[in-house]
Structure 1
Amino acid sequence: MVYRKKPASADQNHDDELKEKFGTNFQAEKPKYFKEIVKWICLIIVALLTALLLRAYVFEWVVVQGQSMEDTLYNNQVLFVSKLNCDTPKRGDIVIIQIYEGNWDYLSFFKDVPLFRALFPCQDEVNYIKRVIGLPGDEIDIRDGYLYINGEKQEEPYTKGLTYEQSFELPRIVPENKVFVMGDNREYSKDSRQLGFIDFERIKGKAVFRIKPLKDFGNIY
């Protein structure tokens, strides 16, 4: 019986040419498109998670709304906010406080997981920006349009208008783990004089500097 050699196919001839040109491992030179795509997808996912973690635990920026912090801050200004050391506020700090938590109805299956609640924004959350006036143990009083802390009249060059007691009965001692806050525009600010003392855990961050407008970029203190 005679066996005839099967003619080489065009693909085989092409492979033989590549072997002669690149050696027997020529297939390793072929681009690995699938691996490249997977690598880029992983990089994008890592970048997004890093950005979310930074926003949740390190910093973010906020937009001022309203006139309660004039003449220090104005409507639509953008601020850089640090979320580090929120549990140790200092008198004079300008802070973001959570007034209404909002809801996670769009992520109802994750709303009981603290990590997801920190990473993703909730709907209808309400935050105010105010200045820390009183710390735990301080006696707060308001008399004749001026603020008194521990019996001493305060010089507050950053304020606009006179300071009135409004609906919060004073003098009062600031409880542990709470602060007394007010807006700098004292006659047009909803703050601790209506809301009461603010828990440390409701402080979401400290405003550090102004980002926009560019002409006012820099320190806000």
Structure 2
Amino acid sequence: MRAKPEKAIVTQEKPTRTIFQEYAEAFVVAVILAIIIRAVLVQAFKIPSSSMEPTLLVGDHILVNKFIYGLRIPFTDERWPRFKDPKRGDVIVFIYPEDRTKDFIKRVVAVGGETIEIQNKKVLINGKEPPEHYGHFFSNVMLPGDMNPRDNMPPVKVPEGTVFVMGDNRDFSHDSRFWGFVPIEDIKGEAFIIYYSGKDFEQVRWNRFLKIIR
């Protein structure tokens, strides 16, 4: 009795991926992740002016936590999930109220419901001078309030849903003293770390790398 011939099973060989294809796929994935991280988690900014000195110097490159105050839900004023509300002392990046194409960075000095005033370079919150290590008036020149609100500003109550911000370098900062309050919905996030510092590669400030912003 003859044995039946076995059927030959032929499988189609899958084409081998080239190294170029693998690198291309990895690059696309990296780009997608970078877009998601930038849109949702953190965003990098560079400090262009001296208004936040000595906390932040010109040429500092910082990272901003974009979800700490909650992500804005499109077409609403709601934010979710909100881990905390902006509080006094936070360094925030926000949309500049007088030109919404620009982002500013300042420090929260007063929040909704508080009354702020400035008397001879002293910042008072609800009539008292709070302890703070960050705000500095370097100039000895005292400007009267009727000429300029830099050193003397009458009491103003911060509306709910907004914050009053100032630069740490209070003699050279264009802030809420001049253009008013920042709506919370215009806050992009809280600055939390310096990841690089230097005006160029020949002036690197190594001691500022990975410095926590306080």
Whether TM exceeds 0.5 here: the answer is: yes
Distance 1:24 1:199 in 2: 70
Cα distance change of structure 1 residues 33 and 158 upon mapping to structure 2, 3 Å threshold: closer
Higher mean C-alpha deviation, range 148-157 or range 186-195 = 148-157
Q: 1:70 corresponds to which residue? A: 53
Shift of 1:71: 1.1
Q: 2:200 corresponds to which residue? A: none
2:179 aligned with 1:187: no
1:212 to 196, 205, 214: 196
- Aligned-residue sequence identity (percent) comes to 33
Structure 2 residue identity aligned to 1:74: L
Query: Which runs of no fewer than 5 residues in structure 1 stay unpaired?
Result: 1-22, 103-125
Shift of 1:51: 1.4
Higher helix share: 1
Distance 1:64 1:81 in 2: 12
2:160 aligned with 1:176: yes
Distance 1:68 1:205 in 2: 18
Shift of 1:70: 0.7
Q: 2:181 corresponds to which residue? A: 197
Higher mean C-alpha deviation, range 41-50 or range 137-146 = 41-50
Distance 1:131 1:27 in 2: 64
Shift of 1:45: 3.5
Q: Which has the larger radius of gyration?
A: 1
- Give TM-score, length-normalised by structure 1: 0.69
Distance 2:104 2:156 in 1: 22
2:83 aligned with 1:90: no
- Give TM-score, length-normalised by structure 2: 0.71
Cα distance change of structure 1 residues 159 and 94 upon mapping to structure 2, 3 Å threshold: same
**Number of residue equivalences:** 173
Distance 1:143 1:57 in 2: 41
Contact 1:146-1:154 at 8 Å conserved across structures: no
Q: 1:17 corresponds to which residue? A: none
Query: Which runs of no fewer than 5 residues in structure 2 stay unpaired?
Result: 1-7, 71-84, 198-205
1:151 to 122, 127, 138: 127
2:42 to 59, 62, 67: 59
RMSD: 2.6
